[in-house]
Structure 1
């Protein structure tokens, strides 16, 4: 039996009302809702702050330059942990009868290492030994997080862990700036990046979760993510250039059973909402890879191009509605 195409969000939403955010995703994304993230709530609700709240035996606080490791948890760490507990409480309340797939997001190890500073001020990415320690800490924290989620949602529900890795292309190219901003950190070799990411993804699978990696940069390392074991690859379809090498990587990913989470709905208000037929055309353009609409439908999840934190609340709702309607249109095209 073929899986029909689904729709979901990337993670973040505008505003500070977590109850309204949960109702929105469960109402508009019934087949694949996600745990909402509301960075407008302040320090600790941002992507990096949430990531630090998941770490085991690592602590961080906000300094003028950003999040930095510290000896012990302080006010910012407690805020991040409090926000996460609140979110899980609301999730438990809204998911009591839920039996489909629930997506949860966490910052990936390479993006976290590219942003988080060591105690002496340089980015963790400057020290690969520290990056490995960070990845181990994150892996243990994610296993605990997934176990906690399993307690809070019905047993029949499936969990899908999305790792957010917007900085990964820069890590591979050596374009991540130093903490001072005057230099660039050395590029990480692709096998090293793949191996470390693979370990985190394997731990999530061993914990019973499906996996996805999201990267909204134009040069998504599709082949690396596939070989690292990502079950889904999530990207902004409008930023992927049509070229032979890229098409080959996408085609190989689909043939290998990797799902594509295609960002086709604008993440901010375009002024005039695109027609569903136009959004569907973006998806069907992938038939150039040699797949039928039915094969694409089975492999595809429809999403906004990126997180919706910068959207107006009306557009955030409209974007999720359009994603769902585009998934329905794709299903009709495939039947």
Structure 2
């Protein structure tokens, strides 16, 4: 059992963010600071690592003709973190956008989302697999430690439900009800999404699981051996929830993730809360 942040932190100061991550989290992660602007957001950070050139277009991210100079931001961050964290981390979590969200949010030159073209979807998945391999290798070499891969899939619900909008109101994008096979290509990873799907390790918020169907799904996942990273709450509530599911707490593989915050002070408190909850559940 461990505790960790999901990546994003408020502000633009990498040094202060790094201090919080290392000081308050048993499993540190690479800090993401989207407030720094273009290229520091969820899609931009991952897109900069792809061999496929991606740039910002009128409506969002799109396939471009050449890479932006902003792709060097990750290297600069790693240089600075390498100095700050030298010899202090045993494992390090890296975050990338997953293939479904990436393909849903990036447009091809014709204006259609990459997810609508099987060839483009395959290409962006392959590019992401290679980017993950190279990025993790770079981080492991720099810090002399193993890495944990987190895939962020904020658009997965819309992908699965067929709620993605096309180029016009009449252009529908078919639903993808079973996204697991493509995700499994990435091997062991933490899946950060709001959807309950069959995954070996994923984030969940037990407080939002209210329907009988959701609870049954969670129970089945735990019984199959899934590892769940849960949102912070009182340990006794977690035990009570597992009791409702008729799950032996000893059989549940649990971690705790820290909620996002508006300020670094609140972020530090949230990371501390997650760590203390993990200790309480141990």
User: TM-score by structure 1 length?
Assistant: 0.78
Q: CA deviation at 1:180?
A: 4.7
Q: CA deviation at 1:94?
A: 3.3
Higher mean C-alpha displacement, 281-290 vs 35-44: 281-290
Could you say if the C-alpha distance between residues 129 and 16 of structure 1 is closer, same or farther in structure 2, counting changes exceeding 3 Å?
A: same
Inter-partner Cα distance in structure 2 for 1:95 and 1:316: 19
Inter-partner Cα distance in structure 1 for 2:167 and 2:101: 14
State yes or no: 1:279 paired with 2:234. Answer: yes
- Paired residues for 1:143-222 under 5 Å: 143-154=133-144, 157-180=145-168, 183-190=171-178, 193-199=179-185, 201-202=186-187, 210-215=188-193, 217=194, 220-222=195-197
3-state SS of 1:234 partner: strand
Could you tell me which runs of 5 or more consecutive residues in structure 2 were left unpaired when the two chains were aligned: none
State yes or no: 1:11 paired with 2:1. Answer: no
| Contact 2:242–2:248 (CA under 8 A) maintained in structure 1 | no
Inter-partner Cα distance in structure 2 for 1:61 and 1:189: 29
1:325 to 271, 276, 280: 276
3-state SS of 2:123 partner: helix
1:302 to 248, 256, 271: 256
1:238 to 194, 207, 228: 207
Inter-partner Cα distance in structure 2 for 1:150 and 1:67: 29
Inter-partner Cα distance in structure 1 for 2:161 and 2:120: 20
Could you say if the C-alpha distance between residues 181 and 50 of structure 1 is closer, same or farther in structure 2, counting changes exceeding 3 Å?
A: farther
> What's the Cα RMSD here?
2.0
Inter-partner Cα distance in structure 2 for 1:86 and 1:65: 28
State yes or no: 1:248 paired with 2:242. Answer: no
Could you say if the C-alpha distance between residues 126 and 242 of structure 1 is closer, same or farther in structure 2, counting changes exceeding 3 Å?
A: same
| Contact 1:99–1:158 (CA under 8 A) maintained in structure 2 | no
- Paired residues for 1:26-175 under 5 Å: 26-29=22-25, 31-56=26-51, 58-73=52-67, 77-79=68-70, 81-154=71-144, 157-175=145-163
Inter-partner Cα distance in structure 2 for 1:146 and 1:7: 20
Q: CA deviation at 1:182?
A: 6.4
State yes or no: 1:21 paired with 2:37. Answer: no
**Per-residue CA distance 1:142-195 (angstroms, 9 max, x = gap):** 1111111110112xx3311000011112111101122456654211241xx222
Partner of 2:249: 293
Q: CA deviation at 1:197?
A: 1.6
Inter-partner Cα distance in structure 1 for 2:209 and 2:23: 30
| Contact 2:152–2:191 (CA under 8 A) maintained in structure 1 | yes
